[in-house]
Chains A and B, each alone.
Chain A
Amino acid sequence: MKKTIHPPELDPSEVPRNALDRCIYKLGNLLSLLFIFTVAISFYEVVMRYVFDAPTIWVHETASFLGGCLFIYGGIYALATNKHVRVVLIYDVVSDRTKRWLNVFHHIMGLCFTGMLSWAAYQMTKDAWLSPLGEVHLETSGSAWNPAFPALVKAMILLTIGVMFIQFLLHLIQELNGLRKRDHV
């Protein structure tokens, strides 16, 4: 009786385009369950605090940490499934060929930005993992619980931006191949 309003299939433009994108998509589907875990621990915190008068010291920071990592991952997930918003007023009306060249341009710009950002993230992560004297010391949150989440989130940023760089590179190669094949037909 109930209609399925969400078709299980993805829109053709949103299908992951290569092996890397497929991996990101699959892993992302798995990781997305952590959102529900975050809900669960937040609920636990409310119950502990309100019913048992015993607030935890770890929920707030763990939830923020998981959220932060998932938000970052969401960037490559949305890139793999082409979900990032664009202004399509012009993009949608140009010819297929022009659109492909626009895509090439976007991928090159993407490479520029992830290239620069990877270096920036590397600098930041280095500072969070090494003390100014060069010993390994993970930056912590400074709270009473004091987990090393800041250092971990920063490393996650570096990793994700690096993956994003490769994503753009593969997309660029695929787009150029597509253009070449079309020209030779």
Chain B
Amino acid sequence: MFDLSSLGIGYGSLLMLMSMIVLLLTGMQLAFVTCLVALVFAVGWFGVAALPLIASRLYSFVGGYVFLAVPMFVLMAALLDRSGIARDLFDAMKVFGRKLRGGVAVQTLLVAIVLASMSGVIGGETVLLGILALPQMLRLGYNRKLAIGTTCAGGALGTMLPPSIVLIIYGLTASVSIGDLFKASFVPALLLAASYIVYVLVISCLHPEYAPLPTEEELAADADVNYFKALLFPLLTVITVLGSIYTGIASVTESSALGVVGIMISAAIRGELNFSMLKDSAKATMSTCGMIIWIGIGATALVGVYNLMGGIDFVESTILALSGGSVMGTVLIMMLILLVLGMFLDWVGVALLTMPIFVPIISGLGLDPIWFGVVFCLNMQVSFLSPPFGPAAFYLKSVAPKDISLGEIFSSLLPFIALQVLVLASVIFFPQLALWWK
């Protein structure tokens, strides 16, 4: 019938990429696009006998213990958002929003940092901030793009600060210490968050109309925050999650489970815990996980077929040929590949696809794989925001007011993508930012 392998790996890769992009643009579900392309290439390249490979990869992917951290983190976010904990935390941070121009945006980013130290997945945080912070800023008359961008970029920080599922998966594929990765990501993560804050302050200074101050009335209306109650429970949760990872009571997956228990206890003490809340949270977890994990399934299927086609050698030799062996050239080509793939694929797919190829090259060049892990994580920050496939934008869209279109979200994100690229460049040129503790 048709034998794709006669194309050769070069044109094969191109055809694979093109067919994926075309199918994606028709609006077909990403998870199914990658599965379909993987199956068609398996049959077209190797024949029908190669099909069971896809089933086997599906099985291997869903059974991985670390992926259990995904539903735990999602469940945690769902519970947080159904209890009043996150709302109280946000209210307590109002202290920054009062007198300062751009204060509510800064407040949003600070809450994002706290939430990011509880959660390790992308999604939950963006949804939370989209529910809590975005309406607040819109009501105060903030510039829409600034409000949307802050919410989305802040929400994406969840995987930049430890704990982070991106760093965990990188650690697994590159076989480097996850603890070291967490340590190394800390300064770059704070640098990224700081760059957002500075941007917000500068732009609201230049354009005061972008970030109006609250009126006297509004200030009077929310004077009665119980700081103790508002800060106690989030802090307890951060301490449970990060504490159990760093003090080592539990593994990362177990720590996320402890986080869920921590939030349940907090909600119970606050008198908010009931069965319907648990049921709703579990339901939300099922549908979010179904979505995230199936994207991963599609990606892992595609990666398996591509590796079998000889993709690893092809990409490796292409990179080395293009860079002519120069260290910086190689790194920059990799960054370009990561940025482009990040536009169309989910981070799980990008990690599974590129890391087995990139990490050995990086180590071979004498560069530190821990540093590269942080660089990779920053790249994935960009991928969360970059169109047409930008998970953070999708999550925000799912909770944003109906008149906010995906196009508007993506255009709001451009300045934040620029900041991400800036921080990425700093970490590439100044590796000490990640490796100062070594």
Residue of A nearest to B286 (CB): A32
Partner of B291, one of A67, A68, A74, A124: A74
**Docked CA distance A103–B23 (Å):** 12
Contact call B280/A6, Cβ cutoff below 8 A: yes
B324: interface (CB < 8 Å): no
A19: interface (CB < 8 Å): no
**Docked CA distance A103–B283 (Å):** 26
Please provide the chain B residues from 255 to 298 with a CB less than 8 Å away from any CB of chain A in the complex.
Answer: 257-258, 260-261, 278-280, 282-283, 285-291, 293-295, 297
Contact call B62/A72, Cβ cutoff below 8 A: yes
Contacts of A137 in B (CB 8 A): none
Contacts of A110 in B (CB 8 A): 32
Contacts of B261 in A (CB 8 A): 39, 43
A50: interface (CB < 8 Å): yes
A97: interface (CB < 8 Å): no
Contact call A105/B283, Cβ cutoff below 8 A: no
**Docked CA distance A32–B74 (Å):** 12
Interface string of B177-207 (1 = CB under 8 A from A): 0000000000000000000000000000000
Contact call B31/A83, Cβ cutoff below 8 A: no
Min CB distance B300 to A, Å, is 12
Contact call B287/A81, Cβ cutoff below 8 A: yes
Min CB distance B214 to A, Å, is 19
A87: interface (CB < 8 Å): yes
A172: interface (CB < 8 Å): no
Contact call B285/A32, Cβ cutoff below 8 A: yes
A178: interface (CB < 8 Å): no
**Docked CA distance A67–B68 (Å):** 6
Q: Give the A interface residue count (CB, 8 A).
A: 62
**Docked CA distance A86–B55 (Å):** 23
Partner of B31, one of A63, A85, A123: A85
Min CB distance B347 to A, Å, is 13
**Docked CA distance A127–B188 (Å):** 47
Query: What is the number of contacts between chain A and chain B, taking CB atoms within 8 Å?
Result: 213
**Docked CA distance A90–B278 (Å):** 37
**Docked CA distance A85–B397 (Å):** 11
Q: Give the B interface residue count (CB, 8 A).
A: 68
**Docked CA distance A33–B278 (Å):** 8
Tell me which of B65, B82, B84 has the highest count of chain A C-beta atoms within 10 A of its own C-beta. B65
Contact call B59/A113, Cβ cutoff below 8 A: no
Contact call A74/B289, Cβ cutoff below 8 A: yes
Interface string of A145-181 (1 = CB under 8 A from B): 0000010011001000000000000000000000000
Min CB distance A129 to B, Å, is 13
Min CB distance A84 to B, Å, is 4
**Docked CA distance A112–B32 (Å):** 10
CB contact under 8 A between A153 and B63, given known A6-B82, A124-B55: yes
Contacts of B55 in A (CB 8 A): 117, 120-121, 123-124, 154, 157
Min CB distance A162 to B, Å, is 12
Contact call B31/A33, Cβ cutoff below 8 A: no
Partner of A87, one of B27, B31, B54: B27
Taking Cβ atoms with an 8 Å cutoff, the residues of B that contact A are 23-32, 35-36, 39, 43, 51-56, 58-59, 62-65, 67-68, 71-72, 75, 81-82, 84, 131, 244, 249-250, 253-254, 257-258, 260-261, 278-280, 282-283, 285-291, 293-295, 297, 387-389, 391, 394, 405-407
| 23 CB < 8 A contacts A-B | A29-B286, A50-B250, A63-B65, A63-B253, A64-B68, A65-B63, A67-B71, A74-B290, A74-B293, A74-B294, A77-B286, A78-B291, A78-B294, A84-B32, A86-B27, A87-B27, A90-B27, A105-B28, A116-B51, A116-B54, A117-B54, A154-B55, A157-B62
